A and B are shown apart, each in its own frame.
Chain A
Amino acid sequence: MFLVTDTYHFCRGLAQIFYHLFTPSVTLQYPAKRWEMPERWRGVVRLVLDEKTGKGKCVGCYLCARMCPAQAIEINTIEGPDHEKQVESFEVDISRCIFCGLCTEACPKGAITLSRDYELAVYDRSGMVYEQEVLQQGPVIKRYTK
């Protein structure tokens, strides 16, 4: 009796193996190939530039930093030459970021969004803190090439 059932299950297993041998694979050959992320993907934070002026849209209201549940955002503002509010530094510690997107919801100026970038690994922990320029231009990702 045991022999019959064991043989049955063994054959079913073999059938599975042979089935997958001849269907296309789901996994991608990363990093030779990459996923194209869907549009609403919540990737790394990006600071939006004003199309007209080319400068950052951020006015330094600190609301994103306030909302951030992971406390990943640190902003410093100063008084500019024309007594306006100027963003001196805008840092996001990406190692803390949980990609929740609350910062984009808090922003009154649409100055911060989540991009589709997802490749964040670096060799040095300090590279996880993105400064204003990096956040505006997007991180430079060192890609593996053959």
Chain B
Amino acid sequence: MITLTIDGREIQVEEGATILQAAEKMGIRIPTLCHDRRLLPVGACRICLVEVENPRPGLVPACATLVAEGLVIKTATDKVKKVRKTILELLLINHPLDCPVCDKAGECSLQDLTYEYGVSENRFSGKKAALRIDVVSPLIERNLNRCILCGKCVRICDELMDVAETGFIGRGYEARVGTDFDRPLDCEFCGQCLDICPVGALTSRLFKHRGRVWELEKVETTCAYCGLGCAFTLGVKRGKILKARGADSSSINDENLCVRGHFGWGYIHHPERLTKPLLKKEGRLVAVSWKEALHEAVRRFRQIKEKVGPDALAGIGSPRLTNEEVYLFQRFIRAGLGTNNIDHAGGYGHAGLSALKDSLGYPGTVKNLQDSDCILLLRSDLSETHPVAGIKVNLAVKRGRAALIVANPYPIKFSRHAKQSLIYRPGNEIALLNGMVRVMIEENLINREFVNTSTSGFDAMSKVAAAYTPDKVKELTGVEPAAVIEAARTYARAERPAIVISAGYAPLGEDDRLVQAAINLALITGNPEGIAYLVERNNSSGAFWMGAVPSLLPGRQPLKNKGEFEEVWGAALPGKEGMSALDIFNEQSVIRGLYLVGENPLAACPDPVRTRQVLEELELLVVQDLFLTEVAAMADIVFPAAGFAEKEGTYTNTEGRVQEIKPALTPVGEARPDLDIISELSRLMGHEMSYSSAAEVRAEIKKLVPDFEQAKAFEGKGKLVGIEQRDVVEEISKDYPLILMDGGLRFHSGSLSRYSSALTGVSPEARVEMSSLDAKSNEIEGGRQVKVRSRYGETLLQVAVNDRLPQGRVLIRRYPKSGLMNLLPQPEFKDGRYEGKICTVKVVKA
């Protein structure tokens, strides 16, 4: 600890803190322009100059000067004020005074400081900058005339996002921030530079000239795209969202946001939003009143229930719903309809979470990532799937000098910073992990004490792992033995290693096995806090926890514990395990009536042809959604639902953190929050539900599920389970020579993003990526249309040829309408679980 004096008051701060941090701790404000908490200090703008009295008098920049013992500092002497005022005058020489039309006015640091220091006239004069305004770049408008060269945008783009899209060009008076050859921006469009720009040089095109900052009603809520659940603030003007910015430094995102968070909310205002309930009359969907639609749904649910029985009915929810909605939905299906046929998102979204809960006792954590000294990115293309978690990895690697091991079937953005990049054959992650476990046991790199005290099943697990010799691992994964050994050593020798896995990119039914294999690795080295399992959707974690699963009640309680629920709900519950989504769309499906809430099985389940067939054969299909999706167009009854900014409730993020969403808008047209629709439907169905708010539902959930807020840390007991590598790749033959990999895409997530014009505007066209060697041998030219054909179907895509992709593999990212689902095989039912496969394809000229 170091003791120093600021403005006559003594304070103790840790060594390595800056004067600015010390002052902040005391509540003393020092103005800054080029400083941001998240960035390394540079001391470029000099506005934070403070006066040092002792030991050596003079002016120093507070943001870039470390504290020292016995420093005596004054932050607001006349001299300091005079200097700051002069700096502002110098900045204002060429800063245009177009505040009346500048979209930053109202939250502009330069404007605020100019006012604060009373710079009403300027002693200096010079030429105002007259650079061309960049009106071409999508989403981000750059008006460099307003730039004060603080460099924050350049630094956040490089330090946090690792994109380095812009840099300083020119010197002295000519200096400006620009791209190479002044081309328009072609970056990740994360929008971080917009938030951090202290002046109006970078502004959002979505907000441009549409209002002023002070007019906006600010609603702090939670982003509804990926499972991280970033806190952000929506700026709402007259019932329209105009702006979003990262909020809450205590949240997972630490004020950062990705492109989806910054710009992706536009679907809420899409003109195609459903505004009225629809009912199919004579083969056409026509708008009807709520009363008619609800009564018709109830009448036909009843009809099927009486004619065939409750097990001919089913409900599929969505991980996009709030906890309260999922809870009521499953309560309606179970108690209202009387069946356990309930599922969400293709049925296996929760598998990995289940493994974490069983073997680790908590759902993993992201917060330790930044402080890790070794990160194993396992099948996690973070810059595409969870860019905000990518920031943490990036900081750990570039700032914290963590060793990065990238294990992915294709090279990713992080590969260039990786100590080791292990490119394995798709689907063989488990072999790789087992190989690493074996090396650790062999070389005695494991934490024996931890294994003995806090885990069980070590012997059985090590027996399984023992078979994975480096040579066998090489045979399965194609990774060199030396590389596996080195990776194992790096991981085991690190003090705080972390493993990152993103959910939903393994073949169906593999996620839980992969997570368990990773848990084995983490536990034998004694690092139970170093696992981050990143789920795909905003409430994947909550939907699973709230019981939208055929075999589990809320709080992951088995069906045999139904007594307590029966008591609270006042209805008898079915005891028979229900059907999962895959059962529902199976050939032998017995479902007659289906209630879909926010889910589109045509886009989420493999083999859309068969799914469509099952849907067509249904007697009753009720769809509740924001848009008339392909499946809603087939429905008999459609209920218009409210979006994330139009309702209240909570989402549970990937770490099990329960976060609130708040209504910023009133629902469009006659659309209603899912909570209202479900409880109304249930009431008409004869199962009484009356809640005046989501908080009431939450209170009921808390009563039934004591650990609604899941455990946040390892609780001292872990399970080791040996996992064998399954053969998941289809046979590679002359007809189907290429392995198909699916990858994430930062601009899209599920089906809502395609209604966001901002995201579709910057996302490239759906395409298949292949290596230049494969392209050559198949005589395919980049940019052309090709047919990707598997044993199950085909899709027409543009081809992108690059040199980075390994030979023998093609990559299709999850663009909307990529046709990826056409190619995938229907999973096989084996030993009580569905097992999917990675398919092989052929690419031919279209």
A contact residues vs B (CB 8 Å cutoff): 59-63, 65-66, 77-80, 83-86, 108-109
Pairs A–B under 8 Å by Cβ, sample size 13: A59-B101, A60-B209, A61-B99, A66-B214, A78-B209, A79-B208, A79-B210, A83-B133, A83-B135, A84-B101, A85-B101, A85-B209, A108-B100
**Pairs A-B, 8 closest by C-beta atoms:** A61-B100, A85-B209, A85-B101, A79-B209, A62-B212, A83-B135, A77-B209, A59-B100
With the chains together, A84 CA to B102 CA distance in Å? Answer: 10
Cβ contacts under 8 Å, A83 to chain B: 133, 135, 208
Further contacts, 7 of them, CB under 8 A, given A84-B101, A108-B99: A61-B101, A61-B105, A66-B212, A77-B211, A83-B208, A85-B101, A86-B209
Cβ contacts under 8 Å, B296 to chain A: none
Taken residue by residue from 256 to 279, chain B's Cβ proximity to chain A (1 for < 8 Å, 0 otherwise) reads as 000000000000000000000000
Q: Answer yes or no: B731 CB below 8 A from chain A CBs.
A: no
Chain A residue at minimal CB-CB distance from B105: A61
With the chains together, A61 CA to B101 CA distance in Å? Answer: 6
Give the shortest distance, in Å, between B211 (CB) and chain A (any CB).
Answer: 7
With the chains together, A80 CA to B209 CA distance in Å? Answer: 9
Whether B215 pairs with A62 at a CB distance below 8 angstroms is: yes
Give the shortest distance, in Å, between A88 (CB) and chain B (any CB).
Answer: 9
Whether B214 pairs with A77 at a CB distance below 8 angstroms is: no
Cβ contacts under 8 Å, B210 to chain A: 77-79
Cβ contacts under 8 Å, B214 to chain A: 66
Cβ contacts under 8 Å, B212 to chain A: 61-62, 66
Cβ contacts under 8 Å, B209 to chain A: 60, 77-80, 84-86
Cβ contacts under 8 Å, A62 to chain B: 211-212, 215
**Which residues of B in the span 76-131 have a Cβ within 8 Å of any Cβ on A?**
99-101, 105
With the chains together, A66 CA to B209 CA distance in Å? Answer: 16
With the chains together, A102 CA to B211 CA distance in Å? Answer: 20
With the chains together, A83 CA to B101 CA distance in Å? Answer: 11
Chain B residue at minimal CB-CB distance from A78: B209
Give the shortest distance, in Å, between A46 (CB) and chain B (any CB).
Answer: 19
Chain B residue at minimal CB-CB distance from A66: B214
Give the shortest distance, in Å, between B581 (CB) and chain A (any CB).
Answer: 44
With the chains together, A143 CA to B215 CA distance in Å? Answer: 39
Give the shortest distance, in Å, between B549 (CB) and chain A (any CB).
Answer: 48
With the chains together, A66 CA to B212 CA distance in Å? Answer: 10
Cβ contacts under 8 Å, A63 to chain B: 100
Give the shortest distance, in Å, between B615 (CB) and chain A (any CB).
Answer: 43
**Which residues of B in the span 198-240 have a Cβ within 8 Å of any Cβ on A?**
208-212, 214-215
With the chains together, A109 CA to B97 CA distance in Å? Answer: 13
Taken residue by residue from 177 to 217, chain B's Cβ proximity to chain A (1 for < 8 Å, 0 otherwise) reads as 00000000000000000000000000000001111101100
Whether A60 pairs with B101 at a CB distance below 8 angstroms is: yes
Cβ contacts under 8 Å, B100 to chain A: 59-61, 63, 108-109
Cβ contacts under 8 Å, B135 to chain A: 83
Chain B residue at minimal CB-CB distance from A111: B100
With the chains together, A59 CA to B98 CA distance in Å? Answer: 10
Give the shortest distance, in Å, between A8 (CB) and chain B (any CB).
Answer: 67
Give the shortest distance, in Å, between A86 (CB) and chain B (any CB).
Answer: 7
With the chains together, A59 CA to B212 CA distance in Å? Answer: 13
With the chains together, A83 CA to B215 CA distance in Å? Answer: 21
With the chains together, A59 CA to B135 CA distance in Å? Answer: 19
**Which residues of B in the span 128-144 have a Cβ within 8 Å of any Cβ on A?**
133, 135
With the chains together, A109 CA to B101 CA distance in Å? Answer: 11
Cβ contacts under 8 Å, B105 to chain A: 61
Chain A residue at minimal CB-CB distance from B237: A76
Which residue of B99, B100, B101 has the most chain A CB atoms within 10 A of its CB atom?
B100
With the chains together, A63 CA to B215 CA distance in Å? Answer: 11
With the chains together, A62 CA to B100 CA distance in Å? Answer: 8
Cβ contacts under 8 Å, A59 to chain B: 100-101
Cβ contacts under 8 Å, A79 to chain B: 208-210
Cβ contacts under 8 Å, A61 to chain B: 99-101, 105, 212
Cβ contacts under 8 Å, A108 to chain B: 99-100
Give the shortest distance, in Å, between A92 (CB) and chain B (any CB).
Answer: 17
With the chains together, A78 CA to B207 CA distance in Å? Answer: 9
Give the shortest distance, in Å, between B434 (CB) and chain A (any CB).
Answer: 57
Taken residue by residue from 442 to 473, chain B's Cβ proximity to chain A (1 for < 8 Å, 0 otherwise) reads as 00000000000000000000000000000000
With the chains together, A1 CA to B101 CA distance in Å? Answer: 81
Chain A residue at minimal CB-CB distance from B205: A79
Give the shortest distance, in Å, between A101 (CB) and chain B (any CB).
Answer: 19
With the chains together, A86 CA to B208 CA distance in Å? Answer: 11
With the chains together, A14 CA to B209 CA distance in Å? Answer: 70
Cβ contacts under 8 Å, B208 to chain A: 79, 83
